[in-house]
Amino acid sequence: MNNKKTMLFLSLLSVSFLASASTSNTTYKPNKVTNLIGWSLSVPVDNDGNGKADNIKEEELASGYSNPPYFYINTDGDLVFKSYVKGFKTSKNTTYTRSELREMLRKGKTSINTKGVDKNNWVLSSSPKAEQEKAGGVDGTLTATLSVNHVTETGKDYQIGRVIIGQIHANDDEPLRLYYRKLPMNDNASIYFAHEPRHGFGKEKYYSLIGSKSNTQSNPKNGIAINEKFSYSIVAKGNTIKVTISRPNMADVSKTIDISKSGYDKEGQYLYFKAGVYNQNKTGKPSEYAQATFYSIKATHNK
C-alpha cells in the first residue's frame, strides 16, 4: 500500500500515523490508544524555528503527526514517547525536556483559549459554582496503561533514572506529578508522586507508593521493572487527589491526599492532565534518554 492510500485509510479512522522517512517501508497500525483530538503534544525539537519545543495542536496530532524517535505509534498501535537529556524546552521557566501530551477539552476548536477557566480546562467540584459552569469539566480522572522502556543512568544523583509519566497541571503550579524512578544498581523502579500547592499556600510534599525517591535506595520491594506493563489512575475530586498503581495478580497500591488548603478551589484556578515522558534529568550525557510506551490513555470528567 503506498503512502497516499495509507494516509487516506488512516484518515478515515481518524487516528493514525506513518513511519518517518527512515522507516518508510513500515506502515504503522491505527492508534488504538486514544482519540488524539482531545490532546496537544510537546516534542523536544524546534522545527518551526521559534527557539522552543514544538507544540502540535489537536487536529494536526489526530490527523497523522509523527516524529520518530520522539513521538510515534509503533506497529502494535501504541504511543511511544522519547525525550533525550538535551533538547528544546517548552518555555524559559522549564529546564527539562519532554515528549508529552496536554489535555485539550476544546478538541480543535481554536476559538477557545488554551488558558483560563473556559471550555478547554476543568475545575474542582470544590470550586465556586460560577467557575464550574464556565469550565469544560468538573473533577477529573486520568487512567493509563504503560511500560517505561528506558531511563537515564548518568548525571547528578538526584536526577538519575527519574521521569514523570503523568500530571495534573494548573495555571502556574502542578497539583500532581507522578514519577517512575529506577536507579542503575537496581532491577526495579519506585513510584512516587509530588503535590505542589499554589505559591503562598504551602510547601511541596512527596508521597511514596512503591519504594521511595531516595538517591541510594536498594532494589524496591515489588518495584516495577523496565518494560513491565502497569497502570495508574489519578482521580481529582473536590478537595482530594487519589493515585493508584495497578498490576496483574498484585494488590493495588493507592494514596489519597487532602488538597483543601492548596488553593486550587479558588476563583480563576483551572486544571488539565498531562501524560507521556517528562525527562527529569538535565545533567546526564546528551545521548541519555527516557522512553515509555503507552497502551491506553483516557481522561474523563463529570461535565
Is residue 97 within 8 Å of 83, Cβ to Cβ? yes
Is residue 205 within 8 Å of 118, Cβ to Cβ? no
CATH architecture of 34-300: Sandwich (2.60)
pTM of the model: 0.89
pLDDT digits over 84-115, tens only? 999 999 887 789 999 999 999 999 999 999 99
DSSP string for 26-69: PPPPPP-S--GGGEEEEES--TT-SSS-EEE-HHHHHTT--BTT
pLDDT digits over 113-125, tens only? 999 999 999 999 9
Residue length, the chain? 303
Residues 6+ apart with CB under 8 A from 4: none
C-alpha grid cell for residue 32? 488504538
Domains of the chain by residue range:
34-300
Per-residue model confidence (pLDDT) at position 92: 72
Cα 116–chain centre separation: 20
Higher pLDDT pick, 8 / 161: 161
Q: Which residues pair with 67 in a beta bridge?
A: 71
